[in-house]
Amino acid sequence: MTENEIARQVLDGAFLVHTRLGLGLLESVYEVVLAHELRKKGLIVERQKPMPIVYDGVRFNEAFRSDLVVNAKVIAELKSVETTSALYAKQLLTQLRLSGLKLGLLINFGEAHLKNGIKRIINGKLDDESPSEVSL
């Protein structure tokens, strides 16, 4: 499954969860329920996955934690806030760079219309994209 195919499944699940639960819950609630929905689709989901980095020749096994890592290819960073800051997208891009993964989804369940709370972050070029489709 490509990153884009996984992302479509994650977003389908996020829309379903947002429709059923609404907004205003804690991020942890959306995380556990979205992970459940994705597993029902047959995806491999790791919650609060410790991500290692190597710095100055030293490996740090738990440098940061990703909310959801799906099929070991896509990071889903979940928020439940009134408005997202540009900082969240920068943090996700840094997580992608440090982990070597290429695609991240920043999903804010605090938005009344979930489509307004989704940001797709790409680290480099995805395997199934032509050069004209690459974005950051």
Contact 124, 133 (CB under 8 A): no
pLDDT at residue 125 tops 90: no
Per-residue pLDDT at 136: 39
Contact 111, 78 (CB under 8 A): no
pLDDT digits (tens, 9 = 90+) for 45-91: 999 999 988 899 999 988 889 999 999 999 999 999 998 899 999 99
pLDDT digits (tens, 9 = 90+) for 9-49: 999 999 999 999 999 999 999 999 999 999 999 999 999 99
Contact 107, 74 (CB under 8 A): no
Smallest CA-to-CA distance from 31 within 15, 19, 48 is with 48
Contact 117, 107 (CB under 8 A): yes
